[in-house]
Structure 1
Amino acid sequence: MKSLSYILFVFICVTQAQTSTPTFISETLELTHCESAVYDKANNRIYASLIGDREAGDGSIATVSTDGKLINKTFVEGLNDPKGIAITKDRLFVSDNKMLIEADLKTGKVLKKHTAESVQFLNDVAIDADGNVYASDTRTSEIYRLDTSGHFSLWMANETLDRPNGLLIQGNTMYVASWGAGKDGGAVSKIDMKTKTIENISSSIGNLDGIRPYDNERMIISDWRSGNIHLIDANGKTEKILTVGESVGDIAYIKEKNLLLLPMNRQSRLLFYKLK
């Protein structure tokens, strides 16, 4: 007769295996070079950044329902090449080349544009518990901060960041998914936001783009070049759970709905997967 501990171990292993198998549900089309997706729980809608055809002012933020219906393709309009998005209860922040754009979450109206002379290529955006907004500069291996007083400035410059792309803040820790300068791409690292100490938690994985929480122990990361989606824990243990086409961007995961959202840049669409 098997022991209770053995049975529990088998049950946990089987449960984990079942929870890491994404199933395709639907897709939203006509999202021109879709790069990033963020879920707004209060309004039960998704914001997606559309780079457009790289003409000046043809970029936008679209709104999409959780069942994949396009609500408004130009909720925020007149942008250039918008990428990472983060929201508060009344503001939407999006990186747009050398600008961090601040828009009204209710109306989509652009309120302010933040930049600094040294900025070259802002990418992902994240917000801490105090309301400070951070943006990665992939080209310079820097991170900028917009503080709660409205002051935008360089927060960290360190080559160890290795062309940072995706940002995720949990408590006093910032996780960074790096694009990487080498042929094997970048890794995942973490920053102690009090001491600014950087620690790599993985080896090179690929040209990383998005990073989002999955459960209490793991995060979801996307590899733009290979199209691979991985789970990764705080010790760097990775598990590939899905492969989609090249150019998967800044992903989103809606835990309460078991929805994984995958912006596909070159394919100009947003993919919806069920992931428990």
Structure 2
Amino acid sequence: MKTLLSLFVLSILCISCNTKKEDTAQKEIAVAEVVEIATPSKATFITETLELTHCESAVYDKNNDVIYASLIGNRKPGNGSIATVGVDGKLINAQFVAGLNDPKGIAITKDKLYVSDVTELVEADLKTGKVLNTYTAEGIEFLNDVAIAPDGAIYVSDTRTSKIYRLDQDGNFDFWLADPKLDNPNGLLIQGDTMYVASWGGAPEGGRVSKFDMNTKKITSVTDIIGNLDGIRPYDKNHLIISDWRSGKVHLMNFDGTTQEVVTVGQSVGDIAYIKEKNLLLLPMNKQSRLLFYELK
């Protein structure tokens, strides 16, 4: 009888032990799955477009399946341009918009292209590349990135003066916001009523990402200081992609301010673009005069 009782107790203990092992194994698998989901793939190099003299910015035109890239040129009057590039990396037209001086950030509508050009915001025809208008205002020193709001207004950062200018739907171009917290703003991104700002930064270590409600204009910091930030673009509903010009690093930024590096390229990575439906990350390289194509899922 004692022997049978001992065997019964032993079998219960074995079953309990095995159950605990199975539970532990399942928990380990669950944790591994969470880590795998939380850790995005690293960017993988695909190709590059060469001979883009001091390439600074890139934007994708979904309707025409073409990429527009700003080329600063050799910093001679009229030497800058906007080039068109295929999604396969082949150069289509290096002088699609010609006669610019020092073009940087680009934004497009269905029929127009806007690009910052030193102290002017240039408006060009998206089909022909012909310059239609130029806009400027007193006090502008160094226009940089361009962003379009849902209502059609065009916003452009002035990095040197820590200001933002706006072109409204009636064609009025003027100062819109000045705040030291903009901290030498470079990249601009508008999502709904929120504007995200990637700052070059006035401190030696660089700047950070900030955001503000475009109605109240109250600015709050999203990240700590990261570096000399340039581009800022959407990645998915939980992340943005930002580029650090100085270090050559590209990060995924969570909306809580945490960041994760996805690729490091040479110094001078500029105003980046991400084509979600193609898993394609575009990295303009200023010093290297090329546009890099990476796969990023």
Provide the TM-score with structure 1 as the length reference.
0.97
For 1:181, the equivalent position in structure 2 comes to 202
Deviations 1:209-261 (A, max 9, x none): 00001111110100001101111111110111111000000000000000000
Match of 2:187 among 166, 172, 191: 166
Q: Which residue identity does 1:11 align to in structure 2? A: E
Offset, 1:13: 2.2
Q: Which residue identity does 2:237 align to in structure 1? A: N
For 1:252, the equivalent position in structure 2 comes to 273
Rounded Cα–Cα distance in structure 2 between residues aligned with 1:91 and 1:273:
27
Name the structure where helix makes up a greater proportion of residues. Answer: 2
Structure 1 gap ranges (5+): none
Rounded Cα–Cα distance in structure 2 between residues aligned with 1:8 and 1:143:
46
Secondary structure, counterpart of 2:236 in structure 1: coil
Q: Which runs of 4+ in 1 moved over 6 A?
A: 3-6
Offset, 1:2: 4.0
Residue 141 (structure 1) aligned with residue 141 (structure 2): no
Offset, 1:146: 0.3
Secondary structure, counterpart of 1:176 in structure 2: strand
Rounded Cα–Cα distance in structure 1 between residues aligned with 2:41 and 2:285:
21
Match of 1:74 among 78, 95, 99: 95
Rounded Cα–Cα distance in structure 2 between residues aligned with 1:7 and 1:169:
39
For 1:14, the equivalent position in structure 2 comes to 36
What is the aligned-residue identity percentage?
Answer: 66
For 1:190, the equivalent position in structure 2 comes to 211
The 5 Å alignment of 1:1-276 reads 1-2=22-23, 7-17=29-39, 19-276=40-297
Offset, 1:6: 6.5
Q: Which residue identity does 1:66 align to in structure 2? A: V
Rounded Cα–Cα distance in structure 2 between residues aligned with 1:217 and 1:13:
16
Rounded Cα–Cα distance in structure 1 between residues aligned with 2:179 and 2:151:
24
Higher Cα Rg, which structure: 2
Provide the TM-score with structure 2 as the length reference.
0.90
How many equivalent residue pairs?
A: 275
Rounded Cα–Cα distance in structure 2 between residues aligned with 1:41 and 1:7:
40
Offset, 1:96: 0.2
Offset, 1:150: 0.5
Structure 2 gap ranges (5+): 1-21
| RMSD of Structure 2 on Structure 1 (CA) | 1.2
